[in-house]
Chains A and B, each alone.
Chain A
Amino acid sequence: MKRSFPAVLLLITVSAAARDAEDALALIRTPHNGFPAVILPGGTFDAVLSEKAELRLVDGDKGVALAVTGQPLLGGKWQAECTVPLDVPPGSYVLEARTDTKQDRTVRAVFVRDKFAEYYVLAHVTDTHVGSNRNAQASEDIFRNVIKAVNTSQAALVLVTGDVTDGGEIEQFRAFINILDTCTLPTFVCAGNHDRQALNYERFFEPDTYLFRFAQDGYISFDTKDSVVADELGPQNADLEVFRRAIKPCRWSIGLSHRYEPDMGMRSQLTLFVDDPLDYFIFGHWHRANREDEKKVPWGTTPIVVTPAAINGAIRLIDVSPLGIRPRTPQYVADVD
Chain B
Amino acid sequence: MILVSACLVFVAASENVAGRIAFLSGTEQPDHRVCLLDAATGDVTPIGPGRRDGAPCWSPDGSRLAFESDAPGGRGIYVVRADGAEGRLLTHTHDWNARPRWSADSTKIAYSGGDGLDQHIIVYDLAQERETVWGGPDVKLVRPVWTWTESLVAARLIPATENLSSEVLIAIALTGSPGKMSTDICAVTPDRIYPLPTQTPPAPKDYVEWAAEPHPKGTAISYESNDGGDREIFVLSAKKGAFDVSNHRAADWNPIWAPDGKWLAFESFRDGRRGVYRVFPDTLRVYPVAVAKDSDNWHPTYSPDGDWLAFVSNRTGDPEIYVADIKGEAVRQLTNHPGHDYAPAWQPKAKP
Chain A interface residues (CB < 8 Å from chain B) = 73-77, 196, 198-199, 202, 208, 228-235, 238, 241-242, 245, 261-263, 266-267, 270-271, 274-276, 296, 298-300
Asked whether any CB of chain A lies closer than 8 Å to the CB of B29, the reply is yes
In whole angstroms, what is the CA distance A89 to B74 when docked? 53
**Which chain B residues in 174-209 approach chain A with CB under 8 Å?**
177-181, 208
In whole angstroms, what is the CA distance A235 to B296 when docked? 8
User: What residues of A have a CB within 8 angstroms of the CB of B116 in the complex?
Assistant: 261-263
User: What residues of A have a CB within 8 angstroms of the CB of B27 in the complex?
Assistant: 199
Partner pick for A262 among B52, B75, B117, CB 8 A cutoff: B117
User: What residues of B have a CB within 8 angstroms of the CB of A73 in the complex?
Assistant: 317
Q: Interface residue tally of chain B, by bracket? A: 35 or more
Do B179 and A274 touch (CB < 8 A)? no
Q: List 23 A-B contacts (CB under 8 A).
A: A74-B316, A75-B316, A77-B317, A196-B29, A196-B30, A199-B27, A199-B29, A202-B28, A228-B30, A230-B24, A231-B28, A231-B54, A233-B55, A233-B343, A238-B274, A241-B269, A242-B273, A263-B119, A266-B210, A270-B226, A270-B231, A275-B231, A275-B251
Partner pick for A230 among B55, B142, B273, B314, CB 8 A cutoff: B55
**Which chain B residues in 58-114 approach chain A with CB under 8 Å?**
68, 75, 98-99
Chain B's closest residue to A77 (CB) is B317
Secondary structure dominating the interface of B: loop
Do B317 and A296 touch (CB < 8 A)? no
CB distance from A202 to the nearest CB of B (A): 6
Chain B interface residues (CB < 8 Å from chain A) = 24, 26-30, 32, 52-55, 68, 75, 98-99, 116-117, 119, 142, 177-181, 208, 210, 226, 230-231, 251, 253, 269, 272-274, 294-296, 298-299, 314-319, 340, 342-343
User: What residues of A have a CB within 8 angstroms of the CB of B52 in the complex?
Assistant: 228, 230
Interface centre among A75, A229, A233, A266 (most CB of B within 10 A): A233
14 additional contacts, CB 8 Å, given A199-B28, A262-B181?
A74-B294, A75-B318, A198-B29, A230-B52, A231-B28, A231-B54, A233-B24, A233-B55, A234-B342, A241-B269, A242-B272, A263-B117, A271-B251, A275-B208
User: What residues of A have a CB within 8 angstroms of the CB of B53 in the complex?
Assistant: 230
Chain B's closest residue to A197 (CB) is B29
Chain B's closest residue to A262 (CB) is B117
Do B98 and A229 touch (CB < 8 A)? yes
Chain A's closest residue to B143 (CB) is A266
User: What residues of A have a CB within 8 angstroms of the CB of B272 in the complex?
Assistant: 242
Do A235 and B26 touch (CB < 8 A)? no
In whole angstroms, what is the CA distance A158 to B54 when docked? 35
CB distance from A268 to the nearest CB of B (A): 12
Do A74 and B295 touch (CB < 8 A)? yes
Do A74 and B208 touch (CB < 8 A)? no
Do B181 and A300 touch (CB < 8 A)? yes
Do A300 and B180 touch (CB < 8 A)? yes
User: What residues of A have a CB within 8 angstroms of the CB of B98 in the complex?
Assistant: 229
Interface centre among B54, B226, B294 (most CB of A within 10 A): B54
In whole angstroms, what is the CA distance A261 to B119 when docked? 14
Do A230 and B26 touch (CB < 8 A)? yes
User: What residues of B have a CB within 8 angstroms of the CB of A299 in the complex?
Assistant: 181, 208
Do B181 and A75 touch (CB < 8 A)? no
User: What residues of B have a CB within 8 angstroms of the CB of A262 in the complex?
Assistant: 116-117, 178, 181
Do A76 and B317 touch (CB < 8 A)? yes
In whole angstroms, what is the CA distance A140 to B159 when docked? 65
Do B54 and A230 touch (CB < 8 A)? yes
